[in-house]
Amino acid sequence: PAGGSTDVLGRAIAQQLDAELATRVIIDNRPGATGTIGAARVARANADGLTLLGTSIGPQAIAPHVIGKLTYDPVAAFDPVILIGT
């Protein structure tokens, strides 16, 4: 959610990307359902490299075991780009 640790980290990274890419990076928080609402939205986005999912382990590692049926495949729907923190 807005103001959470993932949000704060994402906004700090977005500021750096703004400068490096000379474009505006927009943070669109979609909290809820252990992060699966935002993850599902990113999974449905065009695979054009312009949409990134910044998340904790919830939507990929926890939700598949807690939520019966997800609207996306937590492994196949995403390509890992970078590990930011542990």
Domains in the chain: boundaries: 5-66
Side-chain-side CA neighbours of residue 44 (13 Å): 8
The pLDDT averaged over each successive group of 10 residues in the chain (86 residues) is 87 94 92 92 93 91 91 94 86
- The pLDDT score that the predictor gives to residue 85 is 81
- The pLDDT score that the predictor gives to residue 3 is 86
Predicted TM-score (pTM) above 0.75: yes
Cα–Cα nearest to 43, from 51, 35, 33, 55: 51
Write a three-state SS string for 5-48.
HHHHHHHHHHHHHHHHHCCCCCCCCCCCHHHHHHHHHHHHCCCC
- The pLDDT score that the predictor gives to residue 12 is 94
